[in-house]
Structure 1
Amino acid sequence: MFGLCALPFTSLAEGRCPPGQYPIGGQGAGGCAPVPASGGDSQSPVPTGRWIKTWGAIATSAGGDAGVSKGKLSKNEAARESLERCSKWGATDCKVGLTYKNQCVAAVAADKGLGTKLNTGATIEAATERATEDCRRAGSGTCKLEYSGCSEPYFEKF
């Protein structure tokens, strides 16, 4: 019995046909046909919903005012809301500094008039690390986390 296990094992298809096909015909006029797909009781899974990815944005002004937005369905909607929130503080020069989709963001303030550094990442920690590194690279002695947040997807049930 042990000797049989050591022999090479080749897979044989149905009769003379390649895998996935079965023999048809007879009386010297044979051929092969594809094995029919199973039409039995098993059904493919049916989706119960879908993931909706969302946008976020950060707007800033030269005077230090800022506005953030997250969880919006479009880039334009996120940008518009961040500008509105920035201008609520009285700034008239707000500009969108960053838009992001389905990820996290961090805003790190630099000293020496070097402004705020914005960056993204898969997690708040990753975004904060990147923004802090940008702050240090700019020559700041102090880098302070001012904001972090995520624009996460949500599941819409059917």
Structure 2
Amino acid sequence: MKTIVVAGGCFWGVEAYMSQIGGIFETKVGYANGKKNNPSYDEVCVGNTGHAEACLITYDEMKVTLEKILNKFWGIIDPTVTNRQGNDIGNQYRSGIYYKDEKDLDIILKTKKETQSRFDKPIVTEVQPLHCFYNAEDYHQKYLQKNPGGYCHINLDN
């Protein structure tokens, strides 16, 4: 099993979308690459912890490739906007790809370059090593499964 962390606005929609992809074993929402240990949702929302709302994806690379996962990810975000996705505005809603395995960087950059060809504006999505990931509170996990009418800026039927 391998892991990758992606951020694309509110983590509820990213998690719900990614969990539908075959070969993805598990998804968890949480807070990535900030400066405070174990932040709460309220602290992250204030915007001074530096964390992005993110989704940790554990996948079976024998069943789904990182390239496929990332191509799906690029298709549900606007990678050209800073600190925003849909109606969600703030530093915690920035887009990002955070990797644990240095070998994944070539694939990430390849998909980013391919995606850039579809946009006139430059892609601002962060690509960084994963420094930290803290699970979000239980009520955020599988939120849209538990609350089917909940807010989501992502078309889950893509």
Higher helix share: 2
Normalised to the residue count of structure 1, the TM-score between the two structures is 0.29
Structure with more strand by fraction: 1
Greater relative CO (CA pairs within 8 A, separation 6+): 2
